[in-house]
A and B are shown apart, each in its own frame.
Chain A
Amino acid sequence: MKLEMKKFGLILNSRPAGREAVLRVKQIANGTTDNELIFDFTGVEVLTPSFADEFFTGVKNEYKDKKIVIENYSKNTVIEDVLRGLGLI
């Protein structure tokens, strides 16, 4: 199942926003039988460490049995740095 991160916002910032986004993922991915969750960063301008930490920690706790795939981040230095710094890629 693929989720477009730009639908959460183009500037993804703050822990509360990250927590809220996890709740949205639970709604969207509810009942999916796919083995992987794909997070597509096409179109996102900024990802801050706070949002990323809160979001991916929450998603991983919620979907321990699914593979988390992150794609389309390589042209954006900030997103790549944050994901790498948090050990997500």
Chain B
Amino acid sequence: MDLSCKSIYNNLDDIVKGNTIDISECTFIHPWVVIYICQLLIERHTFRDKGIILPEKNETLEYLKRIHFDKALKYLGYDKECKELETKVVNERENHNVQELLYCQFRDYFNARLDRFFRMFSNFGLEENQARLVVALVGELGNNVYDHNSGNWPTDIGGCFISGQNYPKNGCMEFVIGDPGIGFLGSLKTNYPYLEDDISAIKLGLSGKTGRVDEKRGNGLKFIQNWTLNKFSGSILIHSGSGQVYVDEKGTENKIAPKITGTIIQIMLNYTG
């Protein structure tokens, strides 16, 4: 079972078995899916019967170890599965194009890592100004997580998970950031009470209106969209609540998706090294 940002939705019935997440049949796992699974684990982390069945295929298990998925499991209280993954030994230097899964509970953790991202993107082969743009993109996405959720996290898990991968043969890179927060609708509804669904809220955010109550500002997501489309011919995929919006140079597509707590945003960037 290959799990990508598209196929995960078709396979959810096989993966989500009550409070157990079963990815035993998984043979390929996309960064988007890693973050999606983190969201599913967060939603279930207080249940006694929670669990995750890890992939049987050795390569997939090694990939999860390589991105330090075991640390996420440990933090979220999946101790048994964490120990199972911890026993795997992989060479940390084997793949420079894989970004380890990062958890930033607070804004300071996130900000402290931006410098590291800058060096990492430069190592991916991005030229200086491109690396700066990607850091600004990531920085702005992280800002939104904390600006819109601080003090208002729906569960006792706050912050964001970040995952990424470079695909040098295709000259593109993927960056995914997920947070178990109140989502676009939860944040914007107070300032725009007419909003009725997640898709409308995401679209409003993309139009540049992300200001909260008593704020005239909010252009961050518009910058993110402009940079992604115009500087990198890339795409943005946003899943928030039960809405999903995909934006690329051709236009916007939206659909209803299975409800999640919070938001996942994927940025795909094409670059010339």
A: residues with CB less than 8 A from B are 10-11, 13-17, 45-50, 53, 57, 76-78, 81-82, 85-86
User: If A11-B115, A13-B139 touch, does A49 touch B223 (CB 8 Å cutoff)?
Assistant: yes
Say if the beta carbon of B159 comes within 8 Å of chain A. no
Q: Can you list 21 contacts pairing A with B, beta carbon distance less than 8 Å?
A: A10-B115, A11-B111, A11-B114, A11-B139, A13-B140, A13-B143, A14-B107, A15-B143, A45-B118, A45-B135, A46-B118, A46-B132, A46-B139, A48-B139, A48-B140, A48-B143, A76-B129, A77-B133, A78-B129, A78-B136, A86-B219
The size class of the interface chain B forms with chain A is 20 to 34
Contact with A along B131-147 (1 / 0, CB 8 A): 01101100110110011
A53: chain B residues at CB < 8 Å are 217, 219
- A75 to chain B: closest CB distance in Å? 8
The smallest beta-carbon distance between B133 and chain A, in angstroms, is 5
B interface, CB within 8 angstroms of A? 107, 111, 114-115, 118, 129, 132-133, 135-136, 139-140, 142-143, 146-147, 217, 219-220, 222-223, 226-227, 231
A11 and B107: CB pair below 8 A? no
Asked if B217 and A78 sit within 8 Å, CB to CB, the answer is no
Additional 17 contacts, C-beta under 8 A, given A11-B115, A77-B133, A78-B133: A11-B118, A13-B111, A13-B139, A13-B143, A14-B143, A17-B111, A45-B118, A45-B135, A46-B135, A50-B139, A50-B140, A50-B220, A53-B217, A82-B136, A82-B223, A85-B226, A86-B219
Contacts of A49 in B (CB 8 A): 136, 140, 219-220, 223
CA distance A86 to B222 in the complex (A): 11
Asked if B139 contacts A14 (CB within 8 A), the reply is: yes
User: CA of A7 to CA of B207 in the docked complex: distance in angstroms?
Assistant: 33
With A13-B114, A16-B107, A82-B223 known to touch, is A50 a contact of B129 (CB < 8 Å)? no
| Interface of chain A: mostly helix, strand, loop or mixed | helix
B58 to chain A minimum Cβ distance, whole angstroms, is 39
A77 to B223, CA, bound (A): 13
Q: Which residues of B contact A14 (CB under 8 A)?
A: 107, 111, 139, 143, 146
| Residues of A contacting B217 in the complex (Cβ-Cβ under 8 angstroms) | 53, 57
**Least CB separation from A17: chain B residue:** B111
Write out the residue numbers on chain A whose beta carbons fall within 8 Å of the beta carbon of B115: 10-11
Q: How far is the CA of A22 from the CA of B30 in the complex (A)?
A: 42
A45 (CB) vs chain B CBs: closest residue: B132
Contact check, B147 vs A15: say whether CB atoms are below 8 A apart.
yes
What residue in chain B is nearest A48 (Cβ atoms)?
B139
Asked if A85 meets B223 with Cβ closer than 8 Å, knowing A11-B114, A13-B111, A78-B129, the reply is yes
